[in-house]
Amino acid sequence: MNQQIKNKLDIFFGQYQPIKYKKKQLINEPGAKTEKVTYIKSGYVRLYTTSKDGEEFTLNTFDSVFYLSLINVLSSTKNNYFMEAITPVELYEAPKEELIEFFNKEPGLMFELLVDVLDNFRNNLVNSQYLVQGTAYSKVASVLMSLANDYGTKKEKKVTLNFATTHRVLASLTGIARETTSLQILKLKDKGIIQTKGSHFVINDIEKLKKETVF
């Protein structure tokens, strides 16, 4: 989401009472239906589903709750995802009717949102390549590359992910077993391409990591 869109939404949603969630707290569950649109003020949220066997599958986006919530509310459909705070989260909820009234007063904003949604869709199509191409090693490298590009803080050659990421979550992003994911992470560490500080992944050289991906 570009800064211009964010500024407009910040002003609108800022009139509502903020709701706070602690790290690892569940914000929403599949099957829930609401007439309110959720907007994240700060923090990151993991969207995931579970199989009948309890295996988790995580969407490769940690800041798109607003778009998902908007689609669900405008189309009157139920939410299909678990929403888990992976950092402390502060969010707002706005009634559907009041948001529509706001959009009517800002006719250009809906077009800007559509462009942003389509851009995110294009990026997700590109990022999904690692789910069907390459080896387990290149898939893990690719998802780390994607996370670094979208949610990383760069300092010289190094990029640190803005939130803690476990091997289990990485496995659910790639669709491979956690044990297999851990082995690929170890290979990347042995090559000096990545390291960890606490639960945060640090990419030592983004260009070297890129050579290990399917992109």
User: What value does the mean pLDDT take over residues 124-135?
Assistant: 72
Return the CATH number of 133-211, one of 1.10.10.10, 3.10.290.10, 2.40.10.220, 3.30.420.40: 1.10.10.10
Residue 53's pLDDT band (boundaries 50, 70, 90)?
confident
Structure confidence by residue, pLDDT tens digits, 59-117:
888 888 998 999 899 899 999 999 999 999 999 999 999 999 999 998 889 889 888 88
pLDDT for the residue numbered 169? 94
CATH superfamily name and code, 3-127:
Jelly Rolls (2.60.120.10)
If you write DSSP's letter for every residue of the chain in order, what string do you get? --HHHHHHHHHHHTTSPPEEE-TT-EEE-TT---SEEEEEEES-EEEEEE-TT--EEE-S-SS-HHHHHHHHHHTT----SEEEESS-EEEEEEEHHHHHHHHHH-HHHHHHHHHHHHHHHHHHHHHGGGGTSS-HHHHHHHHHHHHHHHHEEEETTEEEESS---HHHHHHHHTS-HHHHHHHHHHHHHTTSEEEETTEEEES-HHHHHHTS--
Q: What is the mean pLDDT of residues 128-155?
A: 87
Domain boundaries, the chain: 3-127, 133-211
Q: Is the pLDDT of residue 193 over 90?
A: yes
Q: For residue 119, name the pLDDT band (cuts at 50, 70, 90).
A: confident
